[in-house]
Structure 1
Amino acid sequence: MSNGSKWLFTDLKQELEREPLHIQGIFPEWLSGTLFRNGPAKFMESHLFDGLAMIHKFAIDHGCVTYSNRFLRTPAYDRAMTNGQTLSGFASPSSSGAKGYNANVSVTRIDHHFAALTESPDIVAFDPCSLGTIGVLPYEDDLPAHYTTAHPHYDFRRKSLFNFTVQFGRTCSYHVYGMPDGTRRRKLIGTVETTAPAYMHSFAMTENYIVLVEFPLIFNPLELMQGEKSIADSMHWMPERGTRFLVVGKNSGKLERVFESDSCFSFHLINAYEKQGDIFIDACAMKKISMGSINPGHLSESAYNPSNQPAMLRFRLSPGKTVAAVERLSEETMEFPGIHYRWSNAAEYRYAYGTSTNRNRPESIENQLVKVDTHFGTAKTWFQEGHYPGEPVFVATPHASSEDDGVILSVVLDGDGGSSYLLALDAVTFEELGRAVVPHHIPYGFHGLYTNELFNEEEGG
């Protein structure tokens, strides 16, 4: 790994407000909206998932871009800034059970609120104008939840958000729910009981099904409930269990089918859809995972491992069978995948975008962007040596006429310069349109949300 990548795991202290950014190249005139991005900005030693959450905001308006950033002011932030201590987190056990609400993974909209999410069931609302922290946004129900995902899916036909919670106990349960627009009341769809709950960072959704993919990274509920071990230390890699696909009907709420496959692990599923009775699930899958190794120190020092990179795999679940068929979609690797969500989510699709590792200049941290044609397996890449792109976000042109008619936005670290920039690519050609340069570095981040709205920069929250 190059020396410049150290900036990915270097704390960011500076907070800016409405900072005009210098533009190199162009941002299309039609592109008008806001990109929010979430990720750690003060790194705690234990785990990358425990770094203190910061929201970054890029406001794009008629070719101009302004930038703001602000820590989420949560109990975790207050405790860390006051005395350097951490509350209960992903890799930080707490015998008192005190929570930090450190929602540093993703951003979504719930009941007209902008909210930061992590895998804790609690979500933290923030003001989209000032980025001020509003606080924990309570649900209007009593659905049992010890754990969840930071990657809910939205069903445009049903106008509802879908997700699931995990309830730990003597017998554990996955509770699948829907949450209609305009409410914070989670409606239970169905429950699947298990004695060995799996860690699932995301899940799959098709038109008629929710599919929970149980990779063999298994929680020990007793260790969790005793509180002596952290969440990460309570997970155990058990490859002999293989991978299971739990197919839950959206209408029936029942576990309708179960499929098996070889052992693997995936943080992020790309997309899923139904076709002629089959269910197809695409995933960024690697051979194995060690949650304890995902800490800033290890990531910044680890060497590239060619045998355990996230491959684009397609799992086919066919009626009358119990074993999933598997094929590889591209020779390129992929992480932090994205699609034209409004056009393609839960439907057959052609294009996927993600971060990747350049095969000629491999590093242990993804160092290029990739666009894969899933129909033909071909790929286009964007690469600049010593630069490290984050999650690509697709933004469609007004009245888009094709699936890839739009731009790709990605926050990129310039490792040599020690600063970052917002990159805009033509989604069709994958060629650079422009970049908006931030006056400081932006650390390693996770996920973002783009909205076509521009928000008044009035202090609130």
Structure 2
Amino acid sequence: MITLAEDNPTPGQPAPSPVGFDNVPATETPMDLKVQGQIPSWVQGVMYRSGSGKYNILLDNGDTFHVGHPFDALAMLHRFAINGNQVKYSSRHTSNGVEKRILEEDPTLLTFGPDPCKTIFGRLQSVYHHISNFNKNAQLQELDPEFDMVNVTITPNFPIGTALEKETGVERGQGLVVKRDANTLQLVDAETLEPLKMFTYAHVDKKIQGLLCASHHQYDEESNKYVNFMVRLGPFPSFQPFMIGPYLPETSSDEAISISSSPPPPPKTQLCEPIWRNLGAWQTMEPLKPSYIHSFSMTENYIIIPNFPYYYSFGGLSAIYYSCAYQTFYWDATRHTLFHVVDRRTGRHVATYEADPCFSFHTSNAWDQLETLPGGKTERVIYMDHCMYTNTDIIDASFELGKKQQSDNDSNSTPIKTSKVDLDKVAPARYVHIKKNTEGKSDHAIEPSQVRRYRLGQVPDGQLQQQPQQQQQQQQQWYQSYQRFSREYNQRRVASYTVLAHDVELPRFNSRYNLKPYRYLWGVCESKYAPSYASGAVRNGLIKVDLDKPWQGKNTDEHATAKIWDEPGCSCAEPIFIARPGDSGGDMEEDDGVILSIVNRGHQCFLLVLDASTMVELARTWVGDFNANTIHGSFMDQYGKGVAVN
């Protein structure tokens, strides 16, 4: 969308967004924030937040280019250095190369939201430019650390590999990396947030190939491995998990991460068997189709990749036709959700489970255990928690994230109308309407998420790696034949689930319980002071649920077990749980810690600190007169180790 120069009410500055998004100013020089209340003295470290910064870009001719979807706003990072009641804040825009491409009208830019003004001829041109400029863009990405936009999750201690360590000068264990759902990552300076390198997983290890991956990785502290997966599109799509270890250099708990002396061996990559078809296809007749996957589950022994019926049309090739993700995906309610299970010990795809059609952005925790059956036999069972929806209406709500809000305390302000674009202020005048799933529903209302605990029973429990090499090779040959022809191996497997809570999104839990049974979950929920997500600017409260006390009603019911922080006019970002230091195996409670979140209210934002057990406010510190539009974040302790990473 473009606002013409003659229609700009703020000459010399970008015109206001016709759909309600404001630019966020950067604060590159750290500044001290004034704290109201008391942050516990043991909260020491750095909180990083990733998100969106620029929505409105002034072009050379005076016109203003407007971003229509918040996921497409230029990336921005925020840094909070916390030492008890002392907080220093800084921020930086990290997609200046993308802004340059917008100014140059680069036709190869891919976005999440649709461009409603692009004609069929314009889409055909996009296909041509994507194909003809593929190698050129790859070279430019090597040279420009801000060439593409990466703004979803932020990961301290990322294992960037020997080659990137040498090229960038970043020592092992000190890489701060921003990730997204594609195989494009951005290394940034942990102090200044300056982008250092745009790279792919192939830079870490050439064996890791593919176009897509999950924004949210998994980490196993015991094995010290970073885990993710790659997706290959095309006529023969596949999923391929991989593990990189060691993730962190060996250090004591009170020692700063460093490799200044006796550097450890470089990380090594283990590729798992590609998942190229559904085990159980003889019964379900559902071939593997790539779908949108934002996160996945892992236990001590297994990797579980969800395969929701929210598919890439034409194997993903339609993305270069539409130049956006929203129009590339389609929902097929006639097909199952599939959970593909890979044995971490053997690297093999051992089972696929089917469930009702559903969709999820975010997983929570998962674990596997042996359970005794009647008669004394045992079975291996996987339990995994998802914030699950019955369809993809939540995607429509994403259009409203970060939109300008009217402060409940500002009676003189004019309400912001964001439901329609002012066609007289946008060029070209013929604005093509993009139909959304929630249209036709009362107030665009969507059903909130369910915290579902899935049970995958009778999981194959292979132990090939414990056998001698020669016997292992014989077993693998037998295994491959067994995989192709055994009806038991290809049997139809069904995932059952129990609903533990309602209206929880962006879930976080105590990372000391990772891959183990746990009790408490924190997240965001709809604010009771605002309408449904998809009907206007999104407003969130913060919620804590007790998974040992499932509740089938609303979180605000009189006897509900949930605890909520929710104030009028506030919208909270993903909560980060920081556990109180100490021995988790002693008397320390699972919810003994604090919650950190960024809260927008009106045209301001503040850092909020809550007691994680009671959800009572401990402190807040005002950041500035703007909305910090962040979704995900991570916390790194004073020794440089990520202790709450997403």
CA offset at residue 272 of structure 1? 1.1
- Residue 119 of structure 1 aligns to which amino acid in structure 2? D
The offset of 1:333, in angstroms, is 0.5
Displacement, 1:221? Answer: 4.0
Of 172, 178, 183, the residue aligned with 1:121 is: 183
TM-score, scaled to structure 2: 0.65
The reply to whether residue 403 of structure 1 matches residue 590 of structure 2 is yes
Per the alignment, residue 442 of structure 1 pairs with 627
Partner Cα separation in structure 2 for residue 252 and residue 136 of structure 1: 32
Report how far residue 211 of structure 1 moved: 0.4
**What does residue 388 of structure 2 align with?**
285
SS in structure 2 opposite 1:293?
helix
Which structure has the higher relative contact order (CA within 8 Å, separation 6+)?
A: 1
Give the SS at the match of 1:88.
coil
How far residue 279 of structure 1 moved from its aligned partner, in angstroms, is 1.1
Q: How big is the shift at 1:363?
A: 3.7
CA-CA distance at 1:408 after TM superposition: 0.4
1:168 aligns with 2:233: yes
Cα drift, residue 313 of structure 1: 1.3
Larger mean Cα displacement after TM superposition, 171-180 or 360-369: 360-369
| Alignment match, 2:545 | 372
Bigger share in helix? 2
Which residue, out of 310, 318, 338, partners 1:217?
310
Task: Indicate the residue corresponding to 1:352 in structure 2.
Answer: 521
How far the C-alpha of 1:226 sits from its partner, in A, is 7.7
The one-letter amino acid of 1:192's match is: I
Give the C-alpha shift of residue 404 in structure 1.
1.1
Instruction: Determine which of 498, 501, 506 is the counterpart of 1:336.
Output: 506
Q: Which of these residues, 332, 338, 347, is aligned with residue 238 of structure 1?
A: 332
Q: Is the 8 A contact 1:80 1:86 kept in 2?
A: no
Letter in 2 for 1:250: R
Matched ranges for 1:256-295 at <5 A: 256-275=350-369, 276=371, 277-289=380-392, 293=396
Q: Which residue of 2 aligns with 1:178?
A: 243
CA distance in 2, matches of 1:254, 1:333: 35
**What is aligned with 1:313?**
452
Which ranges in structure 1 are unaligned for 5 or more consecutive residues?
A: 1-5, 456-461
TM-score by length of 1: 0.89
Once the 2 structures are TM-superposed, how far is the Cα of residue 437 of structure 1 from its aligned partner? 0.7
Name the SS of the counterpart of 2:273 in structure 1: strand
CA deviation string 1:247-297 (max 9, x = no partner): 111112222121111111100011111233221111111121158735646
| Map of 1:146 onto structure 2 | 211
Per-residue deviation, residues 354-389 of structure 1 (Å, max 9, x unmatched): 000145754422421000110013211111111000
Q: Percent identity at matched positions?
A: 28
The separation in 2 between residues aligned to 1:454 and 1:413, in whole angstroms, is 30
Output the CA distance in 1 between the equivalents of 2:624 and 2:325: 36
Matched, 1:323 2:494: yes
Contact 1:39–1:446, Cα closer than 8 Å, also in 2: yes
**1:413-432 to 2 correspondences below 5 Å:** 413-415=600-602, 418-432=603-617
CA distance in 1, matches of 2:69, 2:108: 12
Of 293, 315, 319, the match for 1:200: 293
Q: What residue identity is the alignment partner of 1:200?
A: I
Q: Deviations over 1:29-58 (max 9, x none)?
A: 111110000001123534332221101001
Give the match for residue 49 of structure 2. Answer: 37
Unaligned runs of 5+ in 2: 1-17, 56-65, 115-125, 142-146, 160-172, 249-265, 278-287, 372-379, 404-417, 420-441, 460-491, 551-560, 641-646
Structure-2 change in CA distance of 1:298 and 1:282 (3 Å): closer
Q: Distance in 1 between matches of 2:539 and 2:381?
A: 33
Question: Could you give the per-residue CA deviations for residues 64-100 of structure 1, whole angstroms, max 9, x where no partner exists?
Answer: 1111000114532432467698723334766244474
Within-5 A mapping of 1:69-88: 69-73=91-95, 75-80=97-102, 87-88=109-110
Q: Does residue 89 of the first structure (1) align with residue 154 of the second (2)?
A: no
2:38 maps to what in 1? 26
Per-residue deviation, 1:193: 0.8
Pair 11,263 (structure 1): closer, same or farther in 2 beyond 3 Å: same
Residues 68 and 304 from structure 1, CA distance in 2 versus in 1: closer, same or farther, beyond 3 angstroms? farther
**2:205 counterpart SS class:** coil
Q: What number of residue pairs does the alignment pair up?
A: 446
Q: Distance in 1 between matches of 2:313 and 2:106?
A: 29
SS at 1:447 equivalent: strand
309-318 vs 156-165, which moves further: 309-318
Higher strand share: 1
| Residue-by-residue CA offset, 1:378-418 (whole Å, 9 max, x unaligned) | 21111111100000001111105221111000000012xx1
Is this contact kept in 1: 2:234–2:316, CA < 8 A? no
Deviation at 1:443, TM superposition (A): 3.5
Which digits, 9 at most, give the CA deviation of each residue in 1:156-195, with x for residues without a partner?
Answer: 1110000001011220010100011265654212210144
- From the CA coordinates, give the structure whose radius of gyration is larger: 2
Following the alignment from structure 2 to structure 1, what is the Cα–Cα distance between the partners of residues 450 and 236?
34
Residue of structure 2 equivalent to 1:107: 154
Q: 1:241, CA displacement in angstroms?
A: 0.6
Which position in structure 1 is the counterpart of 2:271? 188
Query: Contact 1:34 / 1:452 at 8 angstroms: preserved in 2?
Result: yes
Q: Does the 8 A contact of 1:270 with 1:338 survive in 2?
A: yes
User: Following the alignment from structure 2 to structure 1, what is the Cα–Cα distance between the partners of residues 297 and 85?
Assistant: 36
Instruction: Look up the SS of the partner of 2:36 in the other structure.
Output: strand
